[in-house]
Amino acid sequence: MRIVTKQFGEIEFQEENTVKFSSGLFGFEQLKKFLLIKTDEELFYWLNSIDEPEIVFPLIGLRVIEEDYPATENFETFGIVTLNSDPLKISVNMKAPVYINQNEKTGFQKIIDSEKYNVHYNLFVE
């Protein structure tokens, strides 16, 4: 299979590498199939929609930010990053993490019921 993306150009992949989100992501419930892309030199991952290849979400592992971030067994925990040309305005959504099981190729998103986490956590500070 193959898709053409704005971020990475043409990508060939096997169906078994598709991460399936049965409920989609918040605001994008119609998107169910994604590729999780990691480039060697970057801190970020990219969650690229297969259903609509022009839609891609930058992710960061939340354990990089906070070691004791709430986990779910067998799932890696990611936050969706809001990019900005000003690095001090780059933020990550720690309130609604994305959980991905790399072995089962499944994922889901949920809201963390805690005032400790917010939607716009600044990734970099002065």
pLDDT in tens, 105-121: 999 999 999 999 999 99
DSSP string of 76-119, one letter each residue: EEEEEEE--SSGGG-EEEEEEEEEEETTTTEEEE-----TT--S
Q: Distance between CA 77 and CA 110 in Å, rounded?
A: 11
Q: Distance between CA 80 and CA 3 in Å, rounded?
A: 22
Q: For residue 71, what pLDDT band results from cuts at 50, 70 and 90?
A: confident
* Average pLDDT of the residues in 84-96: 95
Q: Please give the single-letter amino acid code of residue 56.
A: V
pLDDT for position 22: 98
Superfamily of domain 2-122: BH3618-like (2.30.290.10)
* Average pLDDT of the residues in 41-70: 92
pLDDT for position 40: 76
